[in-house]
Structure 1
Amino acid sequence: MENKIRVLVVDDSLFVRTILSDMLSLDPEIEIIGTAKDGDEAVSKVKKLRPDVVTMDLIMPKADGIQALNGIRDLDESIRVLMLSASDRASADHIIKSLELGAFDFILKPSSTSSTDILRMKWDIITKIKAAYHSTGKGTVEESPHVISTFLGGRKRGRRAKGVPDHLVAIGSSTGGPVALRYILSSLPQEVNVPIVIAQHMPKGFTESFAERLNSKCDIEVTEAKEGEMLERGHAYIAPGNKHMEVAASRSGLEVNLKEGERMRGGRPSADILLSSVADAVCENSIGIILTGMGNDGAKGMKKIKDSGGQTIAQNQESSLIWGMPHAAIRLGVVDQVLPLADIPRALISLRGVVS
């Protein structure tokens, strides 16, 4: 096959470098062009070999994965970097930071040597290498702090409307989503009058770290959602990794329901499940937003919001790291506005009921 995907494997363990190289070499579309044992060697080999994709261990002696990522981005931002990580909390914090710095995505190292875990990792890493190679969008946006805030003041001290929310925003995202969500949420003013519920494809443990990171950068509150909590205005809720999240209308207001259930289109949390529940809960007062990500999760949920009389927005191709999810919704004909990421916050607050 011509034009194979040229991959550099970086890990401080010779065993892991060998296993990964052998695993990836079995795919006819992938060519391993080299390996590196630490971040310094990785940057040197990237400069010499110019790979298409780099698989990068997070924790290494000398220069670690984040330092190497910065070095590679300085050399050539078109080279996609996939971070490899354990599933502990410290690694989660570092992975969230690496995504903000421009890593394409990340892969969890298997928690055991069982054939099921190894095969799951093989499928995950090969799928993401191919997605990284074929991605065309930048997936980045210029920093623009609080571009649509309407007044200056202390963080999280703005005027908040009282009472049970009657409008609700639901967002679905995957690859590239952490950067897109950070931009949207950090651009929203303190006067946001609606709850925002979010299904970002991310493993258990990582969503808590992600929510805390967002909360430190936003004027609205951002937390990982909890079972049974009532949604509040001016508050964003991130679905926990490995849980589906639904919103149900009750006498007391809008309530979070979490469940495991089967993976939907490879994902848990599922954007389809979340968006569909929002359509059921608030009907024509629902707003659906679908952001960058692989696959077609969220398209059916966007259709349900549209059919319920709600409003829908999709990220455009140019600003999406991967345009799979937005494109799927657009193909169904259920998107009212297709916008670059930089325009989505302003479009959102212009909709009825979003700002008090």
Structure 2
Amino acid sequence: MALKKIKVMLIDDSAVVRQVLQALLDKEPDIEVSGVASDPLFAMEKMQRDWPDVIVLDIEMPRMDGITFLKKIMHERPTPVVICSSLTEKGAETTMQALAAGAVEIITKPKVGLKGFLQQASAELLAAVRSAAQARVRKLFNATAPVPVKLSAEAILPAGSSAMAQTTERIIAIGTSTGGTQALEYVLTALPRVSPGIVIVQHMPEKFTASFAERLNMLAQIEVREARNNDRVMPGLALIAPGGKHMLLKRSGAFYQVEVVDGPQVNRHRPSVDVLFRSVARFAGKNAVGIIMTGMGDDGARGLKELHQTGARTYAQDEASCVVFGMPKEAIKLGAVDHTIPLSDIAQVIINVK
């Protein structure tokens, strides 16, 4: 039986980008480029004849910009979209708009040295396309490339026992990846101003987490911001791990705070959900609630298991409401999850924490 290939449409106004991306993708036995186009209007004509499984989309293009096209696609025929664009720190707001509109992955390309970068970033691009192909983007509107080493949380925080006494301080720890930007928006905007302190790892490129947090802060009643080293975890505050850094929970007297550290990728991610969950298991134990949400891969599964073993309550987002069921599925397989619930119930779980 022939292998069913992932059909990809490339949309970019740069001929060099189209050429390099097509060459990279066409070398893969499980991927084929079904079409290329210099702008969304040309792309739409081709896509009507042969609809792709994944769209790789630039943002700055003639006739119709990528954000407008993304919204149009998600409204008319939701399809997984990987944004591949020259975005600077100043342009991170545009990236947040793309994620909010339904893009499932982001690849940042530089404005110079483009050809060399795209070749060096081929593993990231291929992983993004394969991840996107598994995404079920309709869910958002209703409610792997080989890597040499895959490190565990041991690289950042050695395993240790949790011997925390019961306290009145409650911690909510959330881990998510593909599809998580919209899922987190759904959850955090449903919370009242008085809610338990929340620590979050969302797999996201460096420089984008600050803008993501700022956007959520404008939408939510609670305060949401990118975590800084030694920030105290407090009721009514959600701290999001900075892209490119690991975030750990620590105890400071009667209170909790976060530590933001450098270190190698864990489970191919930095920040890593496993690192956060392990630290929460050690320093909060049964005073915590762990929630693993939509995402590709298995980051967070073992950390949630450690949390579960301390007596903390643990939850997984259910398959029906996930964009990608990978992370919750792996946690469930490990026996790390007390309850599997839909996205629509997660905010209420947080509200009900006593």
Question: Shared fold (TM-score greater than 0.5)?
Answer: yes
Aligned residue in 1 for 2:91: 91
Q: What letter corresponds to residue 135 of structure 1 in structure 2?
A: A
Q: What letter corresponds to residue 179 of structure 1 in structure 2?
A: Q
In 1, distance between residues paired with 2:339 and 2:218?
A: 29
Q: What letter corresponds to residue 231 of structure 1 in structure 2?
A: V
Aligned residue in 1 for 2:224: 222
Mark the runs of 5 or more structure 1 residues left unpaired by the alignment.
144-163
In 2, distance between residues paired with 1:324 and 1:68?
A: 28
Aligned residue in 1 for 2:246: 244
Aligned residue in 2 for 1:31: 32
Aligned residue in 1 for 2:174: 171
Aligned residue in 2 for 1:255: 257
Aligned residue in 1 for 2:188: 185
Asked if 1:309 is matched to 2:311, the reply is: yes
Q: What letter corresponds to residue 52 of structure 1 in structure 2?
A: D
In 2, distance between residues paired with 1:46 and 1:75?
A: 13
Equivalent of 2:269, from 262, 267, 270?
A: 267
Aligned residue in 2 for 1:68: 69
Offset at residue 280 of structure 1 (A): 1.5
Aligned residue in 1 for 2:131: 131
Offset at residue 112 of structure 1 (A): 6.4
Q: Deviations over 1:48-107 (max 9, x none)?
A: 321111100011122111111122223311x22111123412432112111211222221
Offset at residue 2 of structure 1 (A): 4.0
Offset at residue 142 of structure 1 (A): 4.8
Q: Deviations over 1:307-342 (max 9, x none)?
A: 111110100111111111111110011101101111
Secondary structure of the 2:189 match is helix
Q: What letter corresponds to residue 9 of structure 2 in structure 1?
A: L
Root-mean-square deviation (CA, aligned residues, Å) is 2.0
Secondary structure of the 1:187 match is coil
Asked if 1:235 is matched to 2:237, the reply is: yes
Aligned residue in 1 for 2:105: 105
In 2, distance between residues paired with 1:64 and 1:200?
A: 27
Asked if 1:17 is matched to 2:18, the reply is: yes
Equivalent of 1:327, from 323, 326, 329?
A: 329
Aligned residue in 2 for 1:148: none
Q: Deviations over 1:13-56 (max 9, x none)?
A: 01101111111100011111211111222233222321111100
Aligned residue in 2 for 1:80: 80
Normalised to the residue count of structure 1, the TM-score between the two structures is: 0.87
Aligned residue in 2 for 1:52: 53
Normalised to the residue count of structure 2, the TM-score between the two structures is: 0.88
Equivalent of 1:350, from 342, 349, 352?
A: 352
Q: What letter corresponds to residue 93 of structure 2 in structure 1?
A: D
Taking structure 1 as reference, are residues 170 and 42 closer, same or farther at Cα in structure 2, changes over 3 Å only? same
Q: What letter corresponds to residue 223 of structure 1 in structure 2?
A: R
Q: Deviations over 1:166-196 (max 9, x none)?
A: 110100011100011000100111121x210
Offset at residue 114 of structure 1 (A): 9.1
Greater shift in the superposed pair: 54-63 or 196-205: 54-63
Contact map agreement 2:80 2:137 (CA 8 A) in 1? no
Equivalent of 2:296, from 294, 297, 308?
A: 294
Mark the runs of 5 or more structure 2 residues left unpaired by the alignment.
144-166
Taking structure 1 as reference, are residues 76 and 305 closer, same or farther at Cα in structure 2, changes over 3 Å only? same
Offset at residue 119 of structure 1 (A): 4.8
Offset at residue 165 of structure 1 (A): 6.4
Greater shift in the superposed pair: 164-173 or 334-343: 164-173
In 1, distance between residues paired with 2:122 and 2:72?
A: 27
In 2, distance between residues paired with 1:247 and 1:116?
A: 38
In 2, distance between residues paired with 1:248 and 1:134?
A: 35
Contact map agreement 1:221 1:235 (CA 8 A) in 2? yes
In 1, distance between residues paired with 2:221 and 2:340?
A: 26
Q: What letter corresponds to residue 334 of structure 1 in structure 2?
A: A
Identity %: 38
Secondary structure of the 2:229 match is coil
Secondary structure of the 2:319 match is coil
In 1, distance between residues paired with 2:305 and 2:77?
A: 39
The number of aligned residues is 330
Equivalent of 1:285, from 256, 270, 287?
A: 287
